[in-house]
Amino acid sequence: MDHARSPLYAAIDLGSNSFHMLVVREVQGSVQTLAKIKRKVCLAAGLDKQLNLSEDAMQRGWDCLSLFAERLQDIDTSNIRIVATAALRSAKNADVFITKANQILDHPITVITGEEEACTIYQGVAHTSGGKGKRLVVDIGGASTELIIGEGFDAAALTSLDMGCVTWLEQHFKDRTLTEASFTRAIDGAKQVLAPIVERYRSLGWDICVGASGTVQALQEIMIAQGMDEVITLAKLHRLRKQAIGFGQVEELDIDGLTLERALVFPSGLSILIAVFEQFDIDSMTLAGGALREGLVYGMMDTMRQQDIRTRTIQSIQSRYQLDRAQADNVANMALNLLSQCGDEWIAEPIAEEMLRSASELYEIGMSIGFKKDGVHAAYLIKNLDLPGFTQAQKQLLAELLRQYREQLHPVGIQSAVSAISANRILRLLRLAIILCHRRDSNVLPPVTLNTNSDELTLTLPTTWLANNPLMAAELALEAQRQSDQHWPLSIS
């Protein structure tokens, strides 16, 4: 047996709209995705008024599971979790479907309660999303919507509601017309379902709000395709609602960034999310890194439970790419020391400090491909790696910082993680910290003082130290010229 080979894990989610299978393995403290298989089964659409699944809907499900079964045969049964959610919770003939499904998969299916689903979704979010403080998590599925408030890995409130983008499509957009009236009915209907929990959730409160579903992902993809940033707001949701109404019919929807696969349930999912925003007075929402399937997978991996997701991600990448952790710490400590001397007002966004630390800890990743153009290599890797704990906008900012970390200097372009002013200010500090740490020894770092006057920086070092380190003095002088050429005055004294 090959002991170096890490075991495979599989999570299958028999959802109300789609069936999903996720296959992963653990690599250097991170989860590496090996396969994602999805089939649109539309199980919930096969429920009649007596809540019986049609033979056609069940057959679509069994056909899908036959595909999944082939992939499962090489995975240890103790590393497999298969769960069914809202449609099979409510179907009166669910046992008929599950009996045959168990035979196909040769592995038991667990029909989880709404609360268990919400709890597992929250674990998926907690293991893959950054940010501190309390989270409000919203997951709009095919036949249910989960809302959770939690902090760290602990959920304080778990709710699963009987509404989803498939069921709302049949209830409020049955004739497939898109009008002010149909959207208003769908939004008001969702608000009624949400009403019983609003007071409790508002009293618990939250610091950040994240969406963990295909609905939220689809909305974010549309916004980015249309030139907006990744943050979802109520104003943007109403803008998309107006766009949808302009097409008149669901079948005519041709919104930039909307895939054909999501088009049918787009209006109903949008309506539910608008209701959530309005009922809970949400300012903004970002997309979570994972949800139900990730919660199932991480639940099978005891070693992955670390409170700071970004730290776990950084350490995993450092191991995989054999980065020099001591040097990464040197640069991070120096960069944060410089930042602390700039004053609280110099960089407005709290996340900017995290981005500076992360860039410092990963700045040599491009050298794993080659020294020449290592900044280009680093940017490519960061943009394309899975980075649990970082949003897409934060990944983009990290990539741009690492692209420019040495030699030629160009301002960071427009991105949405922080303001352009803040992005370029942390880039300047990163470049200085790397030069100051070039000897790769924490015992020989110079004492430095940094003074700021808006974009004007003055870096002061002991005169004797500069005299005794002529290469460092020359590098700092060259960096001062490069920053000054970008109208960012830097003087070395």
- Measured in whole angstroms, how far is the alpha carbon of residue 288 from the centre of its chain? 4
Q: How far is CA 199 from CA 53, 60, 204, 248, 292, in A?
A: 36, 41, 9, 36, 26
**What's the pLDDT at 421?**
93
pLDDT on residue 45:
86
Alpha helices in 234-324 (DSSP H): 234-247, 260-263, 266-280, 292-299, 309-320
The model's pTM is 0.80
How is residue 124 written in tokens? 């998926």
Show pLDDT as tens, one digit a residue, over the chain (493 residues): 344 577 899 999 999 889 999 999 988 878 899 999 999 898 988 989 999 999 999 999 999 999 999 999 989 999 999 999 989 999 999 999 999 999 999 999 999 999 999 999 999 999 888 878 899 999 999 889 999 999 998 999 999 999 999 899 989 999 999 999 999 999 999 999 999 999 999 999 999 999 998 889 999 899 889 988 888 999 999 999 999 999 999 999 999 999 888 899 999 999 999 999 999 999 999 999 888 999 999 889 876 666 678 888 999 999 999 999 999 999 999 999 999 999 988 998 889 999 999 999 999 999 999 999 999 999 999 999 989 888 888 999 999 999 999 988 998 887 778 889 999 999 999 999 999 999 999 998 989 999 999 999 999 999 898 899 999 999 999 999 999 999 999 999 8
Q: Which two tokens stand for residue 71?
A: 């992939």
Burial class (CB in 10 A: 0-12, 13-18, 19+), 470: exposed
Rounded distance between C-alpha atoms, residue 438 and residue 275, angstroms: 54
| Residue 345 exposed, middle or buried by CB count within 10 Å (0-12, 13-18, 19+) | exposed
pLDDT (0 to 100) of residue 1 = 37
How many angstroms separate the CA atoms of 142 and 122, rounded? 18
Instruction: Tell the residue number behind the tokens 């249910």, with chain if given.
Output: 144
Q: What type of residue sits at position 330?
A: N
Q: How far is Cα 35 from Cα 20, in angstroms, rounded to an integer?
A: 10
Tell me what pLDDT residue 304 has. 65
Question: 335 — phi, psi (to 5°)?
Answer: -60, -45
Residue type for 344, please?
D
Which of 98, 39, 100 minimizes the C-alpha distance to 68?
A: 39
* Backbone angles phi and psi of 412, in degrees to 5: -65, 130
Given a contact cutoff of 8 angstroms between Cβ atoms, the answer to whether 134 and 281 are in contact is: no
66's CB contacts (< 8 A; 6+ apart) are 104
Instruction: In whole angstroms, give the CA distance from residue 106 to residue 101.
Output: 8
